[in-house]
Copies of this chain bind each other. A is one copy, B any other.
Amino acid sequence: MNIVLLDPRQTQSEIWSISSKRQIEHLITHVNVQVGDTLKVGVREGKRYLTEIVEITAQAIRVKALNEEVVPQKLPVTLIVAMPRPKVLRRLIMDSVTLGVEKIILLHSYRVDKSYWQSPFLQQLDQYVTLGLEQAGDTIAPQIEIYKRFKPFVEDVLPTLISSQTPAYVAHPYARVAMPFAIEHPCTMVIGPEGGFIPYEIELLEKNGCQAVSLGNRILRTETVISYVLGRLFSTT
């Protein structure tokens, strides 16, 4: 946790109260905070501040804002990912949020086990978003959308995300073109499931405006590929 995120309703008065058990426990046990220490606090969907701790009790840590700080910029990318296993989903959301992805789309695909859509983790996405934001020092949650039908999404929604200034890439091991790097424009990035998209899906993605690009001949896990690709695409930032 590199910033404590508060709800705007917690920051109405001059003194703000950190009252979440998770946050208090972290601050007391791991950071060992003391009255008088400074603490980075973000207002969800709002600004970020350096604050000073004015009171610590078992129920609340109270802080007073000192200066406004800069909220890190987002990466101009829409990440479309075939719905992964629940455990991977958790990390994928946290990592994507930490890295600054602007919009995340979870998509069904042939090799996605249908049971993944029943995962209770799907109801807890906001928790993972919070953890990702607190790791990055960010305050703005990405948009998250869910599409449980591949074909209608690819035919009707995907084309609206693509333009000449915003190309879309799908990582595909057999593509002949290499994944671009250090791009200076927004883009949409499509990542397949474990085992990859089936040929029909790759064809449909290509037909609807995605360029299939290769990441070399190592096969990476979903969690690994996302940060690898984002590091590569947005090298210049």
Residues in A lying within 8 Å of B, measured CB to CB = 2, 70, 72, 95, 98-100, 135-138, 181-182, 216-221, 223-225, 227-232, 235-237
CB of A87, distance to nearest CB on chain B (Å): 12
The 5 closest A-B pairs by CB, nearest first: A231-B231, A181-B235, A228-B231, A231-B232, A227-B228
* Residue from the list B181, B219, B220, B237 in contact with A216, Cβ < 8 A: B237
Known: A228-B99, A229-B231. A218 touches B181 (CB 8 A): no
CB of A228, distance to nearest CB on chain B (Å): 4
Main SS class of interface, A: loop
Q: Which residues of B contact A221 (CB under 8 A)?
A: 95, 98, 135
* Residue from the list B135, B182, B224 in contact with A219, Cβ < 8 A: B135
User: How many copies of this chain does the complex contain?
Assistant: 2
Q: Considering the chains assembled together, what is the distance between the CA atoms of A21 and B190 in angstroms?
A: 35
Q: Which residues of B contact A236 (CB under 8 A)?
A: 181
Q: Considering the chains assembled together, what is the distance between the CA atoms of A219 and B40 in angstroms?
A: 13
15 A-B residue pairings within 8 Å (CB atoms)? A72-B218, A100-B218, A135-B221, A136-B219, A136-B220, A137-B219, A181-B236, A182-B235, A220-B227, A224-B227, A229-B231, A230-B231, A231-B231, A231-B232, A232-B232
CB of A40, distance to nearest CB on chain B (Å): 10
Q: Which residues of B contact A231 (CB under 8 A)?
A: 227-232
Q: Which residues of B contact A232 (CB under 8 A)?
A: 231-232, 235
- Residue contact A135 to B72, C-beta cutoff 8 Å: no
Chain B's closest residue to A3 (CB) is B219
Q: Considering the chains assembled together, what is the distance between the CA atoms of A70 and B231 in angstroms?
A: 26
Q: Considering the chains assembled together, what is the distance between the CA atoms of A232 and B232 in angstroms?
A: 4
Q: Which residues of B contact A138 (CB under 8 A)?
A: 218
Q: Which residues of B contact A181 (CB under 8 A)?
A: 181-182, 235-236
Q: Which residues of B contact A136 (CB under 8 A)?
A: 218-220
